[in-house]
Structure 1
Amino acid sequence: MTTDFLSIAQAALADRLKGEHFEKSVSLRIKEVGNLVIKGDTAEISDDRADCAIIADQPTFEKILKGELNPIKAAMFGKLKIAGDAKTAMKFGGLFG
């Protein structure tokens, strides 16, 4: 189940990243599942360190990827946490509306 979700999330991010280019890296840390790292215009399943980490559980990331939850609102309501470069996290949030 966890690997399946990481693969689904990676594919969903690949679509959103077309035409984008992150100068800094973002790590999406999905609690009890694994990590995705966004560098440039790609998302890879990886445990590499990044400039910014966005941490949440799988249901929260599922809602964000489906467009049902804005990541900035999720952070404001404590559904996800941000560690590191907040500007990079805001740019990531911009991919979702």
Structure 2
Amino acid sequence: MTFLETACVALNERLKGHTFEKTVSLRIKEVGNIFISGSDAVVSDERADSAVISDQVTLQKILNGDLHPMKAILFGKMKIAGDAKTAAKFGSLFG
């Protein structure tokens, strides 16, 4: 299973019970994109209302619970483009 597929499985677990009214694109540098719509995460290059841009190492730390998305933003490891409220809702999935 590729990193993107593994990340989608982990994100879909976290999305249970949550629904995004707007869309989020996770852009993982040099790897690919994950598109979150409603309560589903899939590998896709589709454009979204908000983009969260990071590298694979940072996203893996976030998925493992070793790094909170807000800290990643503060440390410059993650950037947000587009609708900040939707990106904040994404961050709330991690505590």
Do both proteins adopt the same fold according to a TM-score greater than 0.5, normalized to the shorter chain? yes
Deviation above 6 Å: which 4+ runs of structure 1? none
What SS is found at the alignment partner of 1:96? Answer: coil
Paired residue for 1:64? 62
Shift of 1:61: 0.3
Paired residue for 1:23? 21
**Structure 1 portions without partners, runs of 5+:** none
Shift of 1:28: 0.2
1:35-70, Cα deviation, whole Å (9 max, x unpaired): 000000000100000000000100000000001000
Paired residue for 1:14? 12
What SS is found at the alignment partner of 2:33? Answer: strand
Paired residue for 2:89? 91
What SS is found at the alignment partner of 1:50? Answer: coil
What SS is found at the alignment partner of 1:37? Answer: strand
Paired residue for 1:32? 30
Q: Percent identity?
A: 64
- CA RMSD between the two structures: 0.8
Structure with the largest fraction of helix: 1
**Structure 2 portions without partners, runs of 5+:** none
Paired residue for 1:74? 72
Give the total of aligned pairs.
95
